[in-house]
Chains A and B, each alone.
Chain A
């Protein structure tokens, strides 16, 4: 065990190799409470892998990930979720065959065991919370609609809503505005700015304009290592970053 930290999330010496290829190599970074931390970097830099490692989808070869001083690398995926880490996937990952209401309800943090789910009652507390979240993600009028028929942007919002209803302390978003229209993008930035109260957000994003709008701190990854870190201003003027990433 390393020393306890004050950071909400402390990633130290994180390494993962796939058949000898080090997708993430001795990576260390920290996320503060109430911080929007953005990871940028060229394709194949290992951004999504970092999220996979934090949420337990991929097992680390070495290093540690501490969330509120709890080691995540030894925990199972659903335990990590219960500890307070929520993750949004790159492609909208929602349940097409269920309604918006049902999508949100499944994410509501109650009745998560087999028999808990069997005995789960859709009571007023659930309805209110679903309605509240639906309002927040601009889908209040679509509660009874099958998720399949939502637009791409709406699906992204729905998945963000499915995470919000769990009220995670750390929210991880993988390219939340990819494929969105300008208007949807603006609404998403507004949404993110609204939901960061009392929580931290770790975002992967390619859209520089969007990153500038939301980021408190930016980490630039390149070939599994940190190239540069700091405020957007600082990162933008870093000659190394310009060369490998922004210059293209």
Chain B
């Protein structure tokens, strides 16, 4: 049998920069040097907004790509993360001095419009930035834990799980829109101004937030890489393939699924919080079914098995969306539909798959060093829909 150098067990590759790390460095250079130099602050802020979706896509790579659990409700977690941040910012913007024309000064404007006389109890802790920051990650992770516990312990999976997550996305949207006085309703939480006195609406703040966002994204990619390279990562792949075999090898499979679902939820929420900071508002239009499915498409286009692919996919689809809707707004939805069908039918492993199939072998011939195996994630012969 042939033994190729790229199939060395991972432990033996230490001490050498491997393909994954090289790819991450390249992405970091693009995000932190090339784009800020090449784009004006308006476009850069837009890229920053796109990148917040990349957090969701990263979560999907682990949850859907590695473990085969398709969630069509990641907008839930993106939204909750964003709302937690927005609640803090809104309270800061609603100081009694700033809201003295209201009939009840010191509460957010939309509450006043809805005849609320005092701040609801669950808003109180969001006066604290520490609490809000913890809540950004903890609340979505807890919700994912509860949903995961209820579903995976009962062995609900596949399409059923996807449909249930979608139902949750719909429920949460309806809840937010219906409870206008507590949530800001369909408009969301708007008119956010400062973070601990620092005006987040200035160009300078937008630049800083862009870099914070990019750094967080790189950090999250490294974290995901760590998870994927651990035995846990391989167990996720194993249970995508043969769940029963994992179960009968002594693992409580449900716990692993719950973990990866919570992990993906927490990642999405970080993206949501960064979205709120950079865009300056959060609304139910980022929570529901449509945005959740769009996020799955970003991941699918980039390649659901590749962390970096998902980031590039997110950037590309969003850039295309902006370009197309600036010139031909009516075409965008059709383009999106066509894109999804194309990905599923023609290139199930997305851009990353195309890269590995056509570009990586040519690069390999040019470079003396063999491409590392880990940079070419395992590509199962399944379609994107399984």
A117 at the binding interface (Cβ < 8 Å): yes
User: With A95-B245, A97-B241 in contact, do A81 and B250 touch (Cβ < 8 Å)?
Assistant: yes
Which chain B residue has the least Cβ–Cβ distance from A86? B248
Does A55 count as interface, using CB distance less than 8 angstroms? yes
- Give A95's nearest chain B residue, CB to CB: B238
Contacts of B259 in A (CB 8 A): 114
| A104 → B minimal CB distance (Å) | 10
Interface core residue of B4, B231, B251 (most chain A CB under 10 Å): B231
Chain B residues with CB under 8 A of A109: 250
Q: How far is the CB of A214 from chain B (nearest CB, A)?
A: 22
Near A by CB (< 8 A), chain B positions 167-186 give none
Q: Does B118 contact A (CB under 8 A)?
A: no
B378 interface hit (Cβ, 8 Å): yes
A-B contact count (CB 8 A): 101
Determine which of B8, B247, B378 lies in contact with A144 in the assembled complex, contact meaning CB atoms within 8 Å: B8
Whether the Cβ atoms of B242 and A78 lie closer than 8 Å is no
Whether, in the assembled complex, B115 has its beta carbon less than 8 Å from a beta carbon of chain A, the answer is no
A120 at the interface (CB under 8 A from B): yes
Interface string of B328-356 (1 = CB under 8 A from A): 00000000000000000000000000000
Contact B234 A81 (CB under 8 A): no
Q: Are B250 and A95 in contact (CB under 8 A)?
A: no
Instruction: Let me know if B367 is at the binding interface, CB within 8 A.
Output: no
Chain B CB within 10 A, most for which of A98, A106, A113? A106
Is residue A30 within 8 Å, beta carbon to beta carbon, of the partner chain? no
Rounded to whole Å, the gap between the CB of B233 and the closest CB of chain A is 9
Check if A114 sits within 8 Å of B232, measured CB to CB: yes
Tell whether B1 is near chain A: CB-to-CB under 8 Å.
yes
Residue of A nearest to B234 (CB): A102
Q: Is the Cβ of B230 less than 8 Å from the Cβ of A81?
A: no
> Across the two chains, which residue of chain B brings its CB closest to A88?
B248
**Closest CB of chain B to A109's CB: distance in Å?**
6
Encoded as 1 (CB less than 8 Å from any A CB) or 0, chain B from 249 to 274 comes to 11111011001000000000000000
In the complex, are the beta carbons of A145 and B380 less than 8 A apart?
Answer: no
Taking a contact as CB atoms under 8 Å apart, the answer to whether B250 and A105 are in contact is: no
Check B255–A105 contact: CB distance below 8 A: no
A78 to B237, CA, bound (A): 18
B249-A107 in contact (CB<8A): yes
Confirm or deny: B327 has a beta carbon within 8 angstroms of a beta carbon on chain A. Answer: no
B202 at the interface (CB under 8 A from A): no
> Is B207 among interface residues, defined by CB-CB distance under 8 A?
no
Q: Which among B1, B9, B244, B250 is the interface contact of A93 at CB below 8 angstroms?
A: B244
Q: How far is the CA of A98 from the CA of B228 in the complex (A)?
A: 13
Which B residues are CB-close (under 8 A) to A111?
A: 231
Closest to A172 in B: B248
Q: Is A66 an interface residue (CB 8 A)?
A: no
- For B247, what are the chain A residues with a Cβ–Cβ distance below 8 Å? 77-78
**Could you say which residues of chain A place their CB within 8 Å of the CB of B163?**
none
Q: For residues 197 through 253 of chain B, which have their beta carbon under 8 Å from a beta carbon of chain A?
A: 227, 230-232, 234-235, 237-238, 240-242, 244-253
Give, as a whole number of angstroms, the nearest-CB distance from A248 to chain B: 31
Instruction: Scan residues 128-160 of chain A and give those whose CB is less than 8 A from a CB of chain B.
Output: 141-146, 159
A103 to B238, CA, bound (A): 8
Which chain A residue has the least Cβ–Cβ distance from B379? A97
* Interface membership of A122, Cβ < 8 A: yes
In the complex, what residues of A have CB within 8 A of residue B245's CB?
A: 89, 93-95, 159, 162
Write out the residue numbers on chain B whose beta carbons fall within 8 Å of the beta carbon of A101. Answer: 9
Q: How far is the CB of A191 from chain B (nearest CB, A)?
A: 19
- Please name all residues of chain A whose beta carbon is closer than 8 Å to the beta carbon of B237 when the two chains form the complex: 95, 97-98
**Set of chain B residues within 8 Å of A89, measured between Cβ atoms:** 244-245, 248
Given contacts A78-B248, A145-B1, 6 further A-B contacts (CB under 8 A): A78-B252, A78-B253, A81-B249, A95-B237, A159-B245, A162-B245
10 closest Cβ pairs, A-B complex = A81-B250, A120-B231, A117-B232, A144-B7, A95-B238, A97-B378, A93-B245, A117-B231, A114-B259, A118-B232
Chain B contact residues, CB within 8 Å of chain A: 1, 3-4, 7-11, 227, 230-232, 234-235, 237-238, 240-242, 244-253, 255-256, 259, 378, 380
17 inter-chain pairs at a CB distance below 8 angstroms, sorted by A residue, are: A78-B248, A93-B242, A93-B244, A93-B245, A95-B242, A96-B380, A98-B237, A106-B231, A106-B238, A112-B250, A117-B231, A117-B256, A118-B230, A120-B231, A143-B9, A144-B9, A145-B7
